[in-house]
Amino acid sequence: MTSMSNDAGPMDPAANGPLTIAGESFNSRLIMGTGGAPSLLGLEAALKESGTELTTVALRRVQAGTEGSIWEMLQSNGIRALPNTAGCFTANEAVLTAKLGREACETTWVKLEVIADDTTLLPDPIELVAAARILVDDGFTVLPYTNDDPILARKLADVGCAAIMPLGAPIGTGLGVLNPRNIAAIVADATVPVILDAGIGTASDAALAMELGCDAVLLATAVTRAAEPVRMARAMRHAVEAGRDAYLAGRIPRREQALASSPTTGRANLDLAL
Amino acid sequence: MSTHVVINGERVAVDGTPSVGDLVAHQLGASAPDGRGVAVAVNSEVVPRGAWASTLVADGDHVEILNATQGG
């Protein structure tokens, strides 16, 4: 096990297959969240272009007179809804919200978020593990949004989470993958799929996450708040596919010094005329 | 007589002794008549969809009626 296992390429033949979480397979390794879109129609177009088969939704109070239902839109496009616990600060709140999500979306899957405060939006690791343990025991398939901390990732897998979703950078920042070595370390240690969640700003960020060996990328605002969301959705789809292929292909080792790719033997003597 | 409950943070007086199903129908109007994509908690306990019709609310109950909406 090495912290730079991405340089050596994947060893697991199953890596060539589809993304599999808790026994369910997905052809797309891009999970697109629905947050931040100004309109339901625009969101639908971006989701379709992204090719995503799984998308996050939040649970909020019903408001009379809101346009259409995101639930119906997802149903009609065959996209599976993954309810989240966004906005929860304690394990208790998150557990109740997860149960409401299970009711509303008719799924035992939950994107578990327990954040520490409104400023950083960083996960509260202690409440997160507590909530994960309760939900796993209650039969949920738990996908926790977590810090890019390899030890915390291991703890979450130990309590039975179905995937680990470390942040690349804080939610909504678009700063990309701030600590690629930690992400690579989480991947190297992981016994469940690793999904890079949060912080993606543009296509190269998503490609890098996949090159590091992540099994999938989850992003929302990088698409929904782009100037042209549908075009960015397409870019992200290509980036995730390209990054996955690059990871599977096995990149060349980094070298300190140049190495010619043309033969060094058989060169003509062309300096006579100079 | 009417029952006074708090629905999504607002105090509401409802005729008679309403069920959770009555409150959902009132809150949703025609937008989601079957209640799919919707979840309800009464006093921080989830009420499964199958029990909406048979669960009556009482004075002072806090009812949260939520639906799936956009979110990361």
Give tens-digit pLDDT for A64-78: 666 568 888 999 999
Instruction: Number of helices (H) and strands (E) in chain A: give both, helices first.
Output: 9, 10
Residue B25: which residues within 8 A CB-CB, separation 6 or more? B33
Dist CA B25 CA B23 (whole Å): 5
Domains of chain B: residue spans and CATH: 2-67 (3.10.20.30)
Q: Exposed, middle or buried: residue B62 (CB in 10 Å: 0-12, 13-18, 19+)? A: middle
Helix, strand or coil for residue A230?
Answer: helix
- Report, as an integer, the average pLDDT of A31-57: 93
Distance from CA of A26 to the nearest CA of B (A): 19
Q: In what order do the strands lie in the sheet with A165-166?
A: A109-112, A141-146, A165-166
Q: Is the pTM of this model over 0.80?
A: yes
Neighboring chain A residues of B9 at a CB cutoff of 8 Å: 61
Q: In one letter, which amino acid is B30?
A: A
Is the Cβ of B36 closer than 8 Å to some Cβ of chain A? yes
Helix, strand or coil for residue A16?
Answer: helix
Q: Check CB contact under 8 Å for B66 and A59.
A: yes
- Residue A124's pLDDT is 98
Neighboring chain B residues of A220 at a CB cutoff of 8 Å: 72
Helix H or strand E segment including A188: helix A180-189
pLDDT 10s digits, B26-42: 888 765 567 788 999 99
Could you say which of A48, A99, A111, A155 is catalytic?
A111
Q: What is the DSSP string of A24-57?
A: EEES--EEE--TT-S-HHHHHHHHHHHT-SEEEE
pLDDT 10s digits, A223-236: 999 999 999 999 99
Tokens coding A118 = 């409104």
CB B34 within 8 A of CB A88: no
B57 pLDDT higher than 80: yes
Q: Check CB contact under 8 Å for B70 and A81.
A: no
Distance from CA of B41 to the nearest CA of A (A): 7
- Of residues A238 and A38, more confidence is placed in A238
- Of residues B5 and A5, more confidence is placed in B5
A114 pLDDT higher than 80: yes
Query: For chain B, first and last CA: distance in Å?
Result: 44
ipTM associated with this complex = 0.91
A246 pLDDT higher than 90: yes
Q: Check CB contact under 8 Å for A220 and B72.
A: yes
A48 labelled catalytic: no
Helix, strand or coil for residue B13?
Answer: strand
Comparing CA positions, the residue from A74, A113, A109 lying closest to residue A90 is A113
- Residue B29's pLDDT is 75
Helix H or strand E segment including A112: strand A109-112
Q: Check CB contact under 8 Å for A84 and B31.
A: no
Residue of B nearest to A32 (CA): B72
Q: In one letter, which amino acid is A160?
A: G
B71 pLDDT higher than 90: no
Residue A270: which residues within 8 A CB-CB, separation 6 or more? none
Distance from CA of B1 to the nearest CA of A (A): 26
Confidence of residue A4 (pLDDT cuts 50, 70, 90): very low
Helix H or strand E segment including A61: strand A54-61
User: 């703890």: which residue's tokens?
Assistant: A155
- Residue A264's pLDDT is 83
- Of residues A162 and A42, more confidence is placed in A162
A3 pLDDT higher than 50: no
Confidence of residue A10 (pLDDT cuts 50, 70, 90): low
pLDDT 10s digits, A170-219: 999 999 999 999 999 999 999 999 999 999 999 999 999 999 999 999 99
